[in-house]
Copies of this chain bind each other. A is one copy, B any other.
Amino acid sequence: MGLNPGSVYGAYGNKHDLFIAAMRRYLEDVTREGIDRIAAAPTGREGIRSYFDYLTEGIVSGRRQWGCLGTNAFMEMADRDDTVQTIMKEHFDKLEVAFREALERDRADLPCRLEPVDFARYLVCVAQGLNVLSKTAPDRQKLNGIVDAAMLPVTALEEDCVR
């Protein structure tokens, strides 16, 4: 960035604090938009789909060329760095809540045996799995196939999806 060490240390103190600030900003900027889409769609199901489409689009376009900064940091540092652990847990929680609220909006369509909260956690899991797989440089077709499968439980009652 053309900055000298002294300026950076003057502004942020040390490398770790700088990183935490970058991570917070990343989650604000990049992740907020995805999460906001969940509630913005006309139905919960469409909101969830929109989240995953936004995620896959980022992966395919190269916007997420190095994967998700949050997930990367979490995988590398979470067991030694409480701040990273906490930030990322909060992020997971936000995402889980957004998914759960979406599912509760469509509750009438959900398979009966599962609670929205389990479903929401499951969707968080799928999102993180996609962040892992993003590092294999998957194409749009593969990602859409995965998301289609992941969405099946949410669309299970639509006749054209279940024989």
A160 contacts across to B, CB distance below 8 A: 113
A135 touches B67 (CB 8 A): no
User: Are A162 and B111 also in contact (CB < 8 A) when A66-B79, A72-B75, A152-B153 are?
Assistant: yes
Identical copies of this chain, number: 2
Per-position contact with B for A40-76: 1 when CB-CB < 8 Å, else 0? 0000000000000000000000000011000110111
B74 touches A76 (CB 8 A): no
A157 to B152, CA, bound (A): 12
A160 to B114, CA, bound (A): 11
Name A125-156 residues within 8 Å CB distance of B: 125-133, 135-136, 142, 145-146, 148-150, 152-153, 156
Q: Does A23 count as interface, using CB distance less than 8 angstroms?
A: no
Q: Does A112 count as interface, using CB distance less than 8 angstroms?
A: yes
B128 touches A145 (CB 8 A): no
Q: Does A78 count as interface, using CB distance less than 8 angstroms?
A: yes
B162 touches A156 (CB 8 A): yes
Q: Does A106 count as interface, using CB distance less than 8 angstroms?
A: no
